[in-house]
Amino acid sequence: MISPARTAAFHALTAIGSGRADLPAALARSRAQLKDERDRALAASIVHGTLRWQRRFDHVIEHMARRPLTKLDPAIVVIARLSLFQLLFLDRVPAAAVVDDAVDLARAAKLPSAAGFVNAVLRSTLRQRQRLPLPPRPAADAALEDVLRYLGVTWSHPDWLVARWLDRHGLDATERWLEFNNEPAPLTLRANRLRMTRQDVRDALARDDVETDTTRYAPDGLIVTSGNPLRHPNEGRFVVQDEASQLVPLTVGAQPGERVLDMCASPGGKTVAIAASMHDSGVLVAGDVRARRIELMRETISASGASSVHLVHLPATGPLPFGQSFDRVLVDAPCSGLGTVRRDPDIKWRRHESELAALASRQVDLLTRAATVIVPGGRLVYATCSSEPEENDEVVRAFLERHSHWRLLDLRSEAPDALRPLLDEAGMFRTLPFAHGLEAFFAAALVNERRT
């Protein structure tokens, strides 16, 4: 009988590869089919790991098979990839069980003639596992083609993205970035200060046999080192939120009694953080264009205990349904997500360089809409989880060129201590995996200098 976890991983990877689902949706579907928590954990590990190292595996498969992937059935490619991940990265999984299940998966996929092929590829890889045919690290004077091949194949990233990072940061930094992306992301929590301090949350989790470390930069963050905090009632004590994401609300600088809009607020983690900064006073409006996401936010806000938050379903285009009434607005813009590849490795295979211009155009439009509801002297914060200049610096530059009464605020003049190491020479918030050990996030604060 094929392991339920491997079967679930196969179906999840097939759905992702065909474009029928993204990683979160595919994993949610697989979890629903698995009753045992250990099977759920193994399936998630296989899916994430296979996507992280997909290009390396494809290179190995082609070498062992002596034919291009285009000549292989897509189902067989998926089976070979997920089996290679287990053989090469999961020490506790018996190799014989992996190979046997791969053969059975090929037969279950109604490809019995390919079962022998899968068996041969996997066993050949096992024999050569200490000397896999991967491009070596190039010498200092190597040709660009060799450098890109090493970074792209051996570290399993698309050439176009590797080339961009290499051009901006050089070989050593890019290599560290790719290594960061290929590490499993830890489970990171943010204490909800409306209910408990970080230390109180940490103590409560310890009583449930969940051990944590404090985050390096985020003042309310905890990194889970053992145990599963999601098995126990949360009662609004914390939200699951990446550390870099936790830092974005600090750039807003919201104060008690102000009127603040979180314009792209779902799933609500940043909204709750802003409410805590405001001591749950004033008016905090959380909006989203997707009705289903509004309901998700409603659950998050309710659990947090925040009473100052008002949820609004915003129109996707056209004027916002407010006057010029907000002191601060956060636009956490929909973006490529290329800064979160460690947590969502399917992004590096789904995104294409040609998409960046269209994304940037929509982001400028979002900023323009948001600017109309901010009072003179008010602040507009633009944030993304993208690593790419087109979606970050260039969006800010394009907005400022079109709106002469707005200026960039140098956050170094007023940033809390947690942010200071993460501000660039212009005072914009920017995290880089190779420099800070965080996903690549960006935020810029803009000030409305128009007089009343």
Q: What is the pLDDT of residue 225?
A: 97
Q: What is the pLDDT of residue 339?
A: 98
Question: Is residue 426 in a domain?
Answer: yes
Question: Is residue 75 in a domain?
Answer: yes
Please state, in angstroms and rounded to a whole number, the distance separating the CA atoms of residues 57 and 396.
39
Domain of 400?
A: 243-448
pLDDT tens-digit readout, 342-392: 999 999 999 999 999 999 999 999 999 999 999 999 999 999 999 999 999
Same domain, 86 and 204: no
Q: What is the CATH number of the domain that holds 117?
A: 1.10.940.10
Same domain, 46 and 62: yes
Which residue among the candidates 330, 381, 385, 428 is catalytic per the annotation?
A: 385
Q: Is the pLDDT of residue 42 over 80?
A: yes
SS3 labels along the chain: CCCHHHHHHHHHHHHHHHCCCCHHHHHHHHHHHCCCHHHHHHHHHHHHHHHHCHHHHHHHHHHHHCCCHHHCCHHHHHHHHHHHHHHHHCCCCCHHHHHHHHHHHHHHCCCHHHHHHHHHHHHHHHHCHHHCCCCCCCCCCCCHHHHHHHHHHHCCCCHHHHHHHHHHHHHHHHHHHHHHHCCCCCCEEEECCCCCCHHHHHHHHHHCCCEEEECCCCCCEEEEEECCHHHCCCCCCEEECCHHHHHHHHHHCCCCCCEEEECCCCCCHHHHHHHHHCCCCCEEEEEECCHHHHHHHHHHHHHHCCCCEEEEECCCCCCCCCCCCEEEEEEECCCCCHHHCCCCCCHHHHCCHHHHHHHHHHHHHHHHHHHCCEEEEEEEEEEECCCCHHHCHHHHHHHHHHCCCEEEECHHHCCCCCCHHHECCCCCEECCHHHHCCCCCEEEEEEECCCC
Average pLDDT of the residues in 416-421: 94
Q: 31 vs 255, which has greater pLDDT?
A: 255
Q: What is the CATH number of the domain that holds 269?
A: 3.40.50.150
Average pLDDT of the residues in 5-23: 94
Q: Is the pLDDT of residue 452 over 70?
A: no
User: At which of 196, 214, 240 does a domain end?
Assistant: 240
Same domain, 331 and 280: yes
Same domain, 228 and 362: no
Same domain, 207 and 108: no
Same domain, 149 and 94: no
Question: Is residue 388 in a domain?
Answer: yes
Would you tell me the crossing angle of helices 74-89 and 37-52 to the nearest 10 degrees? 100
pLDDT tens-digit readout, 137-186: 999 889 999 999 999 999 999 999 999 999 999 999 999 999 999 999 99
Question: Is residue 299 in a domain?
Answer: yes
Structurally, how many domains does the chain consist of? Answer: 4
Q: Any idea what the Cα angle at residue 336 is, between residues 335 and 339, rounded to 5°?
A: 100
Same domain, 118 and 12: yes
Q: Please, are residues 155 and 59 in contact by the beta-carbon 8 Å criterion? A: no
Question: Is residue 138 in a domain?
Answer: no
Average pLDDT of the residues in 294-323: 93
Same domain, 275 and 362: yes
Same domain, 41 and 119: yes
What is the model's pTM?
Answer: 0.95
User: At which of 197, 215, 240 does a domain end?
Assistant: 240
Please state, in angstroms and rounded to a whole number, the distance separating the CA atoms of residues 325 and 58.
54
Q: What is the pLDDT of residue 298?
A: 93
Q: Is the pLDDT of residue 234 over 90?
A: no
Could you tell me the two tokens for 352? 């294409």
Average pLDDT of the residues in 317-333: 95
Please state, in angstroms and rounded to a whole number, the distance separating the CA atoms of residues 281 and 288.
21
Same domain, 175 and 205: no
Same domain, 375 and 268: yes
Q: Is the pLDDT of residue 407 over 90?
A: yes
Predicted confidence band of residue 243 (pLDDT cuts 50, 70, 90) = very high
Q: What is the pLDDT of residue 296?
A: 87
> What are the beta bridge partners of residue 214?
222
Same domain, 437 and 293: yes
Q: Is the pLDDT of residue 131 over 80?
A: yes
Q: Is 385 a catalytic residue?
A: yes
Q: 81 vs 115, which has greater pLDDT?
A: 81
Q: What is the mean pLDDT of the chain?
A: 95
Q: Is the pLDDT of residue 451 over 80?
A: no
